[in-house]
Structure formats: C-alpha cells, structure tokens
C-alpha cells in the first residue's frame, strides 16, 4: 500500500524580527548573523499565541487550499518542541479546534526531527490498519523557550506551523523509506529541561531553564547525521544522490545545509532553503520549505524528494518520497479568505 502526503498547509505569525532589530537588543550585527547562519529574519508569535495556535492556523491554511481535506481523518499526530502543556496533548488541542474532537491524538517529542518522525508514524498507523487518514502537524513557538539574553541561541529560532494529510496514494508515489535515530549522549549539546532539573551530562544546578545549546557540537553532529541518514534513506529506497530532484532539509543553518549537500553530491540549486526568512522553526521547518517550493512551482508531481532533519535528543530523521500532486498542489487562497480562516 503506497502512502504519502496529499495536502499541505502552513502558517507563520505576522510579527517579523529582523537582524537589524536584534542589533538594538544586544551586541550583534546583521553581517555577523548572516555570515554564520544565513538567517536574516524570523517570525515571532504574539504573547497569546502558542503551539496549538500555530497548528490550528496551518490546518486552516490546508483546508483553504484543499476542499474536504479533513474528511475522514481518524488520527492527529503533532510534532512539537514547545507544547502548550504536558497534557492535554497539543495534538488534542488542535483536533478540538479544527472539527476533529474525538479522533485519536498524540504528540511526538524529538525536537527538530519531529515532522519527519511524524510522517513515519502516520505511515505505520495506516499500514497497521489502525488509521486511514492522518493529520500530521509540526507546530512551534520557540521564541517562548529561548533565552533572549543569550545572543548565540536566540538569533536562530522562529515560530510557525505546518500541517499535512497522510493517506494512501497511487502506485509509484509516496514514501519509499525512512531512517530514524536518536542518541542521548548528545543531549547536553541541545536540550530543554521539563520536570527534571538535569539530564545526564549536565551537572545538577548548572543548566539553563530555557533552551540550552552547544553550537559547535551541534554543527559537527548535524553535518554528519544529515549526510549519513540521508544516504541510508536513499540506499533503502534503491536510490542515489543524482536521482533526487529536491533535497528538503531542516532549516537550521545554511552552512550545515551546504556541508551536507557536498557530502550527498546534491547541489544547492536542487536544495530548498528558506531559513533566511524564517530561521529555525524546528518541526515546522520541513513543511514550510515544502509548501514554499510547491507554491513557486519548483516541486512538481512525480518529483523525487529527500527529507532530512536533526534535532535535540540528539535525534535525526530522513525520508525518501515520490511527490504525489494528484490532489493538486494546493491553490493560493485569496488573502481575505486566508485572514478569515487563520484569524
């Protein structure tokens, strides 16, 4: 049974924080940030906007683009690093606000790898016969968990959401392979405390209550696992780098993406990059990049895609898929309609 994505919607908050804005907050510069990360601006949620809001508005965008997109959905899977609460799940909060109250709903917590993980989980539920159509959401308000006095980390992150319908697709389309992994030995390099005030490798009482990161270690890890997991996903699917029409990576740092591309042998001209305008939106970054490449016509029906991501945990995920455009690529909703469904 071939399974793939048949609909896709996204959302980012209205407020934009540019590098120039950051220059007025602490000692940094636009040139310094761009040269090290490739990021020029990011979108930040309002004080009363949370991960569930990002998810609901991404689902509303999906509904505006694809008529009847939520009909028959029997499971909601939400990947998030910044949930509204420990419980109820952010997935359940989203489901209740988009007309899906009562369906199964669960969260996935593997940081920035979460959206690709969630696609794999959705595929598994469908193949097992437990679900027929799954709504997969990646939703983040990272601006609410970063330390705004730590210029090395707060410059990196933004907020947003993405939503996809996963279901059976025609033969020759859909997911071809997934590679998932995690290694807690790397946890001290990228973490966020919850109930515990420590994790193995971080001395008790020394950790930051907000997101903590060792950028140098994360960079080295990311370059390696993006290349390794992506290569493994291609191998499992019987593919090579030159078979890939579009690489869609997690949008964390342009230098990480460039290094991974060189290892794949996939040129930047075949890589979807939009982090300059959104920063690192964690679980929302892959759907935001996918949606942009669909809207501008780069990704077409039948294109071979490779999705790769890494995140806290440390975790990683990769997936090969043949894009199915049979439901249409999703039309641009009229601006007034988008405001109505997103507001």
Does the structure show a pLDDT above 60 at 211? yes
Q: What's the CA gap between 52 and 94, in Å, rounded?
A: 6
Angle at 324 between CA 319 and CA 326, to 5 degrees: 165
Tokens of 232: 């493994």
Residue 90, CA distances (Å) to 134, 135, 270, 326 in order: 15, 13, 34, 30
* 308 or 337: which leads in pLDDT: 308
Q: Which CATH number, 3.40.50.1820, 3.90.1300.10, 3.40.47.10, 3.40.640.10, labels domain 3-173?
A: 3.40.47.10
Tokens of 229: 């997991």
Rounded mean pLDDT, 310-327: 92
**pLDDT reported for residue 120:** 98
CB atoms within 10 A of CB 254: 20
Checking DSSP bridges between strand 174-182 and strand 315-322, what pairing results, if any? antiparallel
> Where does residue 171 rank: exposed (0-12), middle (13-18), buried (19+ CB within 10 A)?
exposed
* Of the candidate ranges 7-11, 67-71, 166-170, 257-261, the one whose mean pLDDT is the lowest: 257-261
The DSSP result for 8-62, as a single string, is: EEEE--SEEEEHHHHHTTSS--HHHHHHHH---EEEE--TT--HHHHHHHHHHHH
Beta bridge partners of 11: 161
Does the structure show a pLDDT above 60 at 317? yes
Q: What's the CA gap between 327 and 9, in Å, rounded?
A: 13
Q: What's the CA gap between 178 and 290, in Å, rounded?
A: 17
DSSP, collapsed to helix, strand or coil, labels residue 174 as strand
Q: How many CA atoms lie within 13 A of 233 on its CB side?
A: 33
Angle at 293 between CA 288 and CA 294, to 5 degrees: 100
pLDDT in tens, 20-63: 999 999 999 999 999 999 999 999 999 999 999 999 999 999 99
Q: State the Rg of the chain over Cα.
A: 19
**77: nearest Cα among 55, 46, 57:** 55
* 255 or 210: which leads in pLDDT: 255
Instruction: Give the contacts of 288 (CB within 8 A, at least 6 positions apart).
Output: 10, 12, 160, 162, 251, 274, 278, 281
Q: What's the CA gap between 71 and 82, in Å, rounded?
A: 28
Tokens of 170: 């025609």
What pTM value is reported for the model? 0.92
Q: What's the CA gap between 142 and 150, in Å, rounded?
A: 14
297 sits in the region (left: phi over 0; alpha: psi -120 to 50; else beta) called left
DSSP, collapsed to helix, strand or coil, labels residue 150 as coil
pLDDT band for position 186 (50/70/90)?
low
Residues of the chain with CATH 3.40.47.10: 3-173, 175-322
Give me the chain's average pLDDT, please. Answer: 90
**pLDDT reported for residue 9:** 98
Residue 223, CA distances (Å) to 106, 261, 278 in order: 30, 9, 20
DSSP, collapsed to helix, strand or coil, labels residue 176 as strand
**pLDDT reported for residue 24:** 95
Superfamily of domain 175-322: Thiolase/Chalcone synthase (3.40.47.10)
pLDDT band for position 336 (50/70/90)?
very low
**pLDDT reported for residue 221:** 73
Q: Which residues are catalytic?
A: 112, 250, 280
Does the structure show a pLDDT above 90 at 309? yes
Q: What's the CA gap between 209 and 203, in Å, rounded?
A: 13
């Amino acid at each position: 049974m071939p399974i793939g994505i048949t609909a896709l919607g996204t959302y980012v908050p209205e407020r934009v924080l540019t590098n120039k804005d950051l220059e007025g907050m602490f000692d940094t510069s636009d040139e310094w940030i761009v040269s090290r990360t490739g990021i020029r601006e990011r979108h930040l949620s309002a004080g009363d906007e949370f991960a569930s809001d990002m998810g609901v508005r991404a689902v509303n965008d999906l509904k505006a683009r694809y008529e009847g997109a939520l009909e028959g959905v029997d499971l909601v899977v939400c990947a998030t690093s910044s949930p509204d609460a420990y419980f109820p799940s952010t997935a359940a909060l989203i489901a209740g606000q988009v007309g899906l109250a009562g369906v199964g709903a669960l969260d996935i917590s593997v940081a920035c790898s979460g959206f690709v993980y969630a696609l794999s989980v959705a595929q598994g539920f469908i193949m097992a016969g437990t679900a027929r159509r799954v709504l997969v959401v990646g939703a983040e308000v990272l601006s609410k968990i970063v330390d705004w006095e730590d210029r090395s980390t707060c410059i990196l992150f933004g907020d947003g959401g993405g939503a996809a319908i996963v279901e059976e697709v025609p033969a020759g389309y859909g997911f071809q392979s997934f590679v998932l992994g995690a290694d807690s030995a790397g946890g001290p390099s990228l973490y966020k405390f919850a109930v515990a005030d420590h994790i193995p490798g971080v001395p008790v009482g020394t950790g930051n209550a907000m997101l903590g990161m060792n950028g140098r270690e994360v960079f080295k890890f990311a370059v390696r696992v993006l290349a390794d997991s992506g290569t493994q996903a291609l191998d499992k699917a019987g593919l090579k780098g030159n078979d890939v029409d579009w690489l869609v990576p997690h949008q964390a740092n342009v230098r990480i993406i460039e290094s991974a591309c060189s290892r794949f042998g996939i040129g930047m001209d075949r890589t979807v990059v939009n982090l300059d305008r959104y920063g690192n939106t964690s679980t929302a970054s892959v759907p935001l990049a996918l949606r942009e490449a669909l809207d501008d016509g780069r990704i077409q029906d039948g294109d071979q895609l490779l999705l790769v991501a890494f995140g806290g945990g440390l975790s990683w995920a990769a997936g090969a898929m043949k894009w199915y455009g049979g439901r249409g690529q999703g039309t641009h909703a009229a601006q007034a309609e988008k405001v109505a469904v997103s507001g």
